[in-house]
Amino acid sequence: MALPFKVRAKGGTLQDNWLNNGPSSLASHLLPRWEERLQTVFAGTAIHLRCLGREDLLCAKLFALCDRGIDLGDCIALAPKINELENVLPWLELQDANPDWPDHVRATFADLRRRLGHGI
């Protein structure tokens, strides 16, 4: 699929579903003041696109990994350091009311640490 700005540059019309805003529901659960850490990824005359800062993106990707078993590749590509994982862990353990959730999160983190070569 072509990037939206390239489609528009050629005079094309964007499909109605070109923007995936599915993760927007996570916004109310992110760390405080996440809006202040947004990073600009594109700034044009008609649109300004921003994405989560590193810490908040790690939160979102690690939540997806623990919750749905997806985004492992993204988590590995982000190559979080041990201290980054330790910072996210307490937040992530609170994101589900299932009593088994914290153990599941810790097991998922242990697997990720092993895959990242963090000596666990």
For residues 104 and 71, give the distance between their C-alpha atoms in angstroms, rounded to a whole number: 16
Given this model, what pLDDT does residue 3 score? 63
SS (H, E, C) 2-44: CCHHHHHHCCCCCCCCCCCCHHHHHHHHCCCCHHHHCEEEEEC
Contact (Cβ atoms closer than 8 angstroms) between residue 60 and residue 30? yes
Residue 23 in any domain: the answer is no
Residue 6 in any domain: the answer is no
Contact (Cβ atoms closer than 8 angstroms) between residue 90 and residue 74? no
Q: Tell me the residue type at 29.
A: H
How many domains does the structure of the chain reveal? 1
Residue 61 in any domain: the answer is yes
Residue 97 in any domain: the answer is yes
Range of the domain at 77: 54-116
Task: Give the predicted TM-score (pTM) of the model.
Answer: 0.78
- Summarize pLDDT for 61-111 with one digit per residue, the tens: 999 999 999 899 999 999 999 999 999 999 999 999 999 999 999 999 999
